[in-house]
Structure 1
C-alpha cells in the first residue's frame, strides 16, 4: 500500500516533457536575447550577432530581428541586415520604422531606386512622416529626378520647418541645377539652425563661387576650416579657389602647409601640382601629380589622367 501511494505521488510530480521543452526554450531564448543586447551595448558586435541568431533559431521574434539587423549594420554586414529587414517587412508590412530602416540600408547598398517604394508605403501609412519624404527625395535625386526631389523636400520642410538636412539637400539639388540664387536661402537657413555644421559652410561657399562671389566663398571655406582644421574638402576648395583667383604662389604655400600636416593627402598634391603647372614648373607639377597617383591609384586623379599624353591636358580645367 505504501508503494502504491509513493508511486502515485511521484507520477503527479512528473512534468510534461513538451511543457518542459517549451519552458527551457523560453528560458534559453531570454538568456540569448538579453545577452545579445548587453553585448551590443558594450560594443561586442560579433558576440551579439551570435546571441541574436541563436535566439531566433528558438523563436522568430520581431524585436530580436530588429536588434540583429542593427548589429549586422554595425558590423558592416549590410546584405545580411537587408535580409533580416526583408523578413521583418514580411512579418509586419505596415511597421514604419522597419520600412525606414530598410530604406537606409538600401542607400548603403547603392540600391537607391528601391528606396522609393518603401518611402511611398510609409507615406501611405503616415502622410506626415517627414523622414519618408526626405529619404524619397534623396533617392529621386540620385536616380535623376531632380524636380521630384525638390517637391519632396519642400513637403518635408513644410512638415518640419527646422529640418536642417532637408534645407541642405534642397540647396545641393538647386546648385546642381545651376540655380545658385535659389539655393542660397536654403543653406543660410540650415546654418541658422545648425551653426556648427561645417558642411553647410562648404555648400554655401560653393554656391557663392558659382555666383562669382569669390571673397564670400573664401570666407565660407575658411569658416569650415576654423570649425575643423582637418576637413579635407574645405582645404581643397579653399586652395583651388586661390588658383581660380590667380594667386598661385599663395595656393602652393597653402597646400605646402596642408601636406605638412597630412603627408598622405593625395588631392592636395594634385592641386599643388596644378598650381605649379600654371606657374610653368612642369617638373614640380609632374612630381606632385605622380605622388598623388601613388597615394591613391584608384582615385579620381588617376582615372582622369589615364590615357592622357599631354601634361597640360591633365590639368585643363582642374583635376577635380
Structure 2
C-alpha cells in the first residue's frame, strides 16, 4: 500500500507504549526511533546501552544513528565545498541528496537555486528559490537571489518587486547595500533616474567611502538636471579619491550646465586637473575642447581636439568636436572631412545628422536630406533628424510633410519648443487653426520670453483677422526685441487694419530707420 507515514506512526506508537504484552529491547527501540527519524531519541537510547555495554556493535549502531541525524547538514557542507571550488554540478547533486533526506530544508533549495544561477540556468534557479520562499516568506536571501535571476532574464519589474521585499525584511547591511545598488542600476537602465538617484543615495550613506556610489549618485543628479547637487556629489567623490578622473570630468560637465562664465571657467579647471593627472586621457581632452569652444576660443579648442585625435586616432568624438569647431570658424570643407572621418569609425544617427547640417551650410540641401533620412533609418527614434528634415520641407514650402516630420520629432522629444512652433506655423499655412492654436499656447507657456513665438502667433491671429490680439502679441515681441524692423513692419500693417493710422505710420518709419541703420552697419 506504500503508506509509509502511517507505518511510521504505528511503529512509533508501539515504541512509545513499550508496555503490556509487547516488550522491546533497547536496541529494537533505538532502531524504531531511527526508522521514524526521531534521531535524538535513538541516540539517547544507544548512549545508555553503550555506557553499560561498550562493545563494537553498540558503538557502530550509535555512530550510524549520529551520522543519520547529521546527514542533511553533511550534504549541505559538501554543497558549500563544491560551490567554492566552482564544481556546480557536484554541488547540485549534493543539494538533491540533502533535499531527499529533508524535503523541507529551505537552505537546501536556496543553495540549489544559487548554484543554478551560477550555472546560468536562471529559470530553474527561480523555481528553486520560489520553493524556498513558499516555505519561508522571510527568507531575504531567497528573494535577493531570485531578483538577480529575474534581472538576468530581463524580467526587470519582477526583480524590482523582489528587491523591494528584501528591503522590507531584516536583511544584513551587506545585502541591503547590494540591494540598493542593484535596484538603482535597474532604475537607471529603465531611465527612471529619480528612483535610481534615491537608491544610490541610500547606498552611498551606507558605504560612505565608496567613490563609485558617489559618482553614480552624481550622474543621476546630472541626468535629472539638478546640477548643483551633482557638483556636490562629484566633489564628495574627489574628496574620497583625489585622483578619480571621471569625478573631475563629471563635475566639469555639471559646471558647464550652469550657463555663466564663472562656472565655465571652473569647469575648465576641472578638465585641466584631470589632464594634469593623465595627459593622454582623451575624454578629459575632448571635454576641455568643448569648454574652450563655449568660451569662443575656437583655435585653442581645435588644437585640443587635434591632440585627442593624435592620442587616439579612433576617437570619433574628437573628430566630431573638431568638425563643430571648423564649422564655427567658417571652414565648411574641413568640417565635412572631419565628420566623414567620424562616420567611418562609427556611423551613428547623430553623426549623420551633423553631416546633414554641414551639407546645409554648404548649400547642398538634397545631400542634407539624404543624410537625415539615413539617420532616421539607422535610428527611427532620433528626434533631431526628423526636425532638420522637417525644416527642409518647410523651406521648400512642403508644409504638410513638414508638419508630419515636426510631429515625429515631438513624439521622441516632446520638449522641443522649436519643433512645436514650426509645426504651429506650418499648420497655420495649412489652415489647421485649432492645432496651430494649441501649439502656440504651449510654446508661449514654455518660453514666455521668446519674441519669435509672439511674432508668429501674431501672424496666426492675422490669418483669423483677429487684429487686436495680433497687435497685442507684436507689442509683446517688441518689448522683448525692441530693434526688430520686421516686427515693426507687421505691427504697422496690423495697426492700419484696426484704424490706428498715426501709430501705423510711426511703426513704418521706425522699421525704415532700423533697416537703413542695418544696411549702413
TM-score by length of 2: 0.46
Q: Does 1:104 align with 2:248?
A: no
Which residue of 208, 214, 217 corresponds with 1:71? 217
Q: Does 1:83 align with 2:232?
A: yes
Matched-pair contact (CA < 8 Å) for 1:221–1:238:
yes
Aligned residues: 272
Alignment of 1:192-231 (within 5 A): 192-195=344-347, 197-231=348-382
Please give the per-residue CA displacement for 1:213-234, whole angstroms capped at 9, x wherever unaligned. Answer: 2221221122223234444322
Deviation at 1:70, TM superposition (A): 1.0
Matched-pair contact (CA < 8 Å) for 1:293–1:299:
no
Matched-pair contact (CA < 8 Å) for 1:209–1:217:
yes
Please give the per-residue CA displacement for 1:242-266, whole angstroms capped at 9, x wherever unaligned. Answer: 444xx32xx2121243366568786
C-alpha RMSD of matched pairs (Å)? 3.4
Q: Does 1:139 align with 2:287?
A: no
Deviation at 1:143, TM superposition (A): 1.9
Matched-pair contact (CA < 8 Å) for 2:423–2:439:
no
Deviation at 1:273, TM superposition (A): 5.8
CA distance in 2, matches of 1:275, 1:38: 47
Matched-pair contact (CA < 8 Å) for 1:259–1:269:
yes
Q: Point out the structure with max Rg over C-alpha.
A: 2
CA distance in 2, matches of 1:165, 1:40: 28
Counterpart residue number, 2:244: 95
Matched-pair contact (CA < 8 Å) for 1:236–1:271:
no
User: Comparing both chains, which one has the higher relative contact order based on Cα–Cα distances under 8 Å and sequence gaps of 6 or more?
Assistant: 1
TM-score by length of 1: 0.71
Counterpart residue number, 1:41: 185
Alignment of 1:179-194 (within 5 A): 179-194=331-346
Counterpart residue number, 1:169: 321
Q: 1:32 to 1:95 in 2, by over 3 A?
A: same
Which residue of 174, 191, 204 corresponds with 1:52? 204
Q: Does 1:294 align with 2:441?
A: yes
CA distance in 1, matches of 2:301, 2:349: 24
Counterpart residue number, 1:238: 389
Secondary structure, in 3 states, of the residue corresponding to 2:405? helix
Matched-pair contact (CA < 8 Å) for 1:187–1:203:
yes
Counterpart residue number, 2:399: 252
Please give the per-residue CA displacement for 1:48-95, whole angstroms capped at 9, x wherever unaligned. Answer: 422421443xxxx2xx24303312432535433322322332343333
Deviation at 1:102, TM superposition (A): 2.5
Deviation at 1:123, TM superposition (A): 1.8
Deviation at 1:160, TM superposition (A): 0.8
Matched-pair contact (CA < 8 Å) for 1:89–1:99:
yes
Matched-pair contact (CA < 8 Å) for 2:181–2:199:
no
Please give the per-residue CA displacement for 1:260-311, whole angstroms capped at 9, x wherever unaligned. Answer: 656878645643565688xxx5x94987764432232234994323234655
Deviation at 1:189, TM superposition (A): 0.8
CA distance in 2, matches of 1:272, 1:296: 11
Secondary structure, in 3 states, of the residue corresponding to 1:296? helix
User: Structure 1 stretches of 5 or more lacking a match?
Assistant: 1-27, 314-320
Matched-pair contact (CA < 8 Å) for 2:386–2:405:
yes
CA distance in 2, matches of 1:254, 1:239: 7
Please give the per-residue CA displacement for 1:108-131, whole angstroms capped at 9, x wherever unaligned. Answer: 444332221122122222211111
Greater Cα shift, 226-235 or 133-142: 226-235
CA distance in 1, matches of 2:378, 2:443: 27
User: Structure 2 stretches of 5 or more lacking a match?
Assistant: 1-171, 188-194, 456-476, 479-486, 493-521
CA distance in 2, matches of 1:124, 1:135: 14
CA distance in 2, matches of 1:126, 1:259: 44
CA distance in 1, matches of 2:354, 2:373: 12
Please give the per-residue CA displacement for 1:13-45, whole angstroms capped at 9, x wherever unaligned. Answer: xxxxxxxxxxxxxxx765654443333234363
Q: 1:32 to 1:52 in 2, by over 3 A?
A: farther
